[in-house]
Amino acid sequence: MNAASASRKSRRAEPINTHVATNGKKSYWFQIDVGVRSKGKRDRRTFTYDTLKQACSECRRISIAVAGGTFVGRVDVTVSQVCDEWLKSRREQHHSLAPRRLSSSGNRVVRRTMG
């Protein structure tokens, strides 16, 4: 790449890349730094969407959320684990309700209903 072509090349407004699968289907992807990992390295995530419009809007939404500190990524937690944590917090908040209203039968109903 010479100096003339380097000066003509500009930064894209949104860093969205195109991928064409072997069957011809297009998908659009981008990478964003969403924070810092526990060991101090950057946490970079890849997001993939079916349409360019979806990818553009999500890229903007995620970038704004990361800049504002409100981005919440995926978490590998099951519904059962969330129910256990919620029931535990309810028991801690309401000691008087723990034996009657938050019994193990109530736990089974929540698990059966939510998974």
Per-residue pLDDT reduced to its tens digit, 42-61: 999 999 999 999 999 999 99
pLDDT per residue over 63-75, tens digit each? Answer: 999 999 999 888 8
Residues 26-55 have a mean pLDDT of: 93
SS3 category, 47: strand
pTM beyond cutoff 0.85: no
Angle at which helix 104-114 crosses helix 79-93, to 10 degrees, equals 150
